[in-house]
C-alpha cells in the first residue's frame, strides 16, 4: 500500500482526490470482469464432459 501526502489549496486537493478515485475505478473494473481467455478455458474444459455424457 502506498501513501501520498498533499498540502495545497482545497480545490487542488479535491481534484487530486477525484483523479485518484477515477484511477482506482479504472484499475478495478478489468480485474473484476472474467477474462475472455478464462471463459474459453471453461468452455473447452466442459466439452469433453459433454461428449462423455452424450
Over residues 29-48, the pLDDT tens digits come to 877 776 666 666 666 666 66
pTM to 2 decimal places: 0.47
pLDDT at position 29 is 83
Query: Distances in Å between the alpha carbon of 50 and those of 43, 45, 46?
Result: 10, 9, 6
Full DSSP string of 6-48: --S-HHHHHHHHHHHHHHHHHHHHHHHSPPHHHHHHHHHHHHH
Amino acid at each position: 500500500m502506498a501513501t501520498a501526502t498533499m498540502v495545497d489549496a482545497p480545490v487542488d486537493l479535491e481534484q487530486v482526490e477525484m483523479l485518484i478515485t477515477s484511477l482506482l475505478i479504472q484499475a478495478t473494473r478489468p480485474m473484476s470482469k472474467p477474462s475472455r481467455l478464462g471463459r474459453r478455458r471453461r468452455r473447452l474444459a466442459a466439452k469433453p464432459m459433454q461428449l462423455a455424457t452424450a
